[in-house]
Structures are given as C-alpha cells and as structure tokens.
Amino acid sequence: MREKLKDIRTLSIDSLRDFFIQNKFQSYRGDQVYEWIWKKGIHDFNQMSNLSKELRNLLINNFKINHVDIDFFKKSNDGTIKNSVKLHDGLFVESVLIPSKKRSTACVSSQVGCSLNCKFCATSKIKRLRNLNMDEIFDQVILMDKQSRTNFNRSISNIVFMGMGEPLMNYKNMIAAIKKITQYRKFGISSRRITISTSGIPKMIMKLADEDFNFKLALSLHSANQSTREKIMPFTKNFPISDLLESLNYWYTKTNRIITLEYIVWDNINDKLSDINDLINFCKKIPSKVNLIQYNSIGDDYFKGANIEIINKYQSELLKHGVNSTFRRSRGLDIDAACGQLANK
C-alpha cells in the first residue's frame, strides 16, 4: 500500500501548507515539515520531534519519503570512497567521495547511465535508463557528507557534477538540487564551491550562464579539432566547436568566471604538435585554464594514455603561450572510481 502513497518531497512548501490547512491544522506545520526534509535531511516522519504523534501519523498515512541508500562502498588505498547508490526503484548509480589534506569533494551523478556517447567513458556504455530526480541528487550529497564526517572528521567542502551522466541533460533537476543543497544548513555550502562538468551542450551552457548562481564550469574538451572530437565523442557532430566557443564566451561575459578545460591526451589520437596548437588557439579565444587528466583505462585497446613526455610537451607549449595548466593524477584508480570509470561495477 505504501507504494501508492505520494512522495512528500515532490510537494512545494505551499502545497505542504495547503495540506495542513485542508486537514484543519495551521499552515506553519508545512514549514516545519519542509525544514525537516530539506534543511535537516530527515527520511523518517517519526524523527520530526516538534510534531505531535497525531501529526506524524497524518503524514505516515498520506505520504512516503523515497530516498537513496548506499548499497555498498569500496575504499581506495588513497582514501577515495566509491559508493554504489541504490535508488528507490532498484536502479543504481555511483558516487565518489574524494578526500585531500583539507577538503572533501563529493562527486555526484545526475543520470542512470548517460545520454551521450563518449567512447572513452565507461558510463557511456550503459544505456541511459532515466534522469535522477532532484531529491536523488540531493541525497547523494547528504550521504557523502555523513561519510566525510565519519571517515575524515569534516563536512564536505566541494561538490562536482562529474559522476555518471551529463548534468546539462538533466538540467531542471540539477538546478533544483543545487538550490536545496545550498540551503542545507548542516554544511552551508555555497554555489561557488560547486563545479558543473559538461561534455559541451552549447545551448544549455548559455542557459546555465543566466542562472543566479556562482558555480564553476568545466568542459570535457579533449580535442580542439572538430574532426578528432567527433571521433572520440560522436555526439559532437551536432555541436561544432564554433558554437561551443560562442556559448563559452557567453558564459564568461555573463559570469566573469574562467572555464576549466578538461583534457585527456591519448597515443595516436591527440598527441601531435598540431593538436597542441589547436588547443592553444582555442584557449586564446576564451579565458580558460587547462586541466590535463591522466587517462583511466576502461578496457578499450583503442585508447591508450600518452606518455609523460607528451604531457610535459603540452604543458610547456601552453605555458609558452600564457595558458595555465595542471596535470591531474587519478584518485581511486584501484577501485574503478577515477574519472570516466563509473559503470556500476
């Protein structure tokens, strides 16, 4: 019978107020319930201690709270924790908690599977089954905050939308989740500590720029040559680099925040001097910094990470032209928790 009950987290605060009025209670009871759900992250009506038993039973008889749970987790030698997150309908996604000396970063998923088809990413091998609901994104952050407090004695400090799925293809729920996350009082994280990573949907990047948030933008570029990009990310046939640059310039004009360009270098794909020059020319057209990323194998022989000499060549040439770059080594590689490896394994 409880399966037929309405999930209370689908209601707005005004709908909650109306529910209590219709049941002969004062409207402020809706505010109390809303606070328990969204500002305290409670999933059990019986834990709402400032409500009478009568009110708690009213909620129990009319609503349920669908929520996610950690089915199991793996801990890497470097401290990274990968979670298998079970959704209310039995589907799974993965989330990753990444600790450093002073910070804990929560890497969250936005889709079950992915809408796109990047050939080097394990998630793209999974058919997109559905978008995550706003509360399912919110719950991942709450769970990882508890994990961080338990394992590292601190709350999460940063959130990155770099898990499973393309966040801009679940735009409405992603934005709604960010609103709830930034209101959540236990860690009071601001939007400037949130990074949204996209494979590049120009129209949605421009829409994102119009939001009243201070989040950061990261673009999975991997090649500034249209032909090469289409080979490794086939969906980009519909999104030429000229359109991408236009959207990134719109982002910078609206936000005054530089873009991080995520870039993996592979043997015989984008390891030539011409590839480096294409990237330099791209960077000259938009205020940006380059994050060179270690390739994390997904068992495809076509993709082989370039050697360190090529990475160093990229960095020296970028620096020569005034482009800041870093080389990011993978975290959680031994538990398939690194960038591009999330595939419900």
Catalytic residue numbers read 94, 339
3-state secondary structure the chain: CHHHCEEHHHCCHHHHHHHHHHCCCCCHHHHHHHHHHHCCCCCCHHHCCCCCHHHHHHHHHHEECCCCEEEEEEECCCCCEEEEEECCCCCEEEEEEEECCCCEEEECCCEECECCCCCCCHHHHCECCEECCHHHHHHHHHHHHHHHHHHHCCCCCEEEECCCCCHHHHHHHHHHHHHHHHHCCCCCCCHHHEEEEECCCHHHHHHHHCCCCCCEEEEECCCCCHHHHHHHCHHHHHCCHHHHHHHHHHHHHHHCCCEEEEEECECCCCCCHHHHHHHHHHHHCCCEEEEEECCCCCCCCCCCECCHHHHHHHHHHHHHCCCCEEEECCCCHHHCCCCCCCCCC
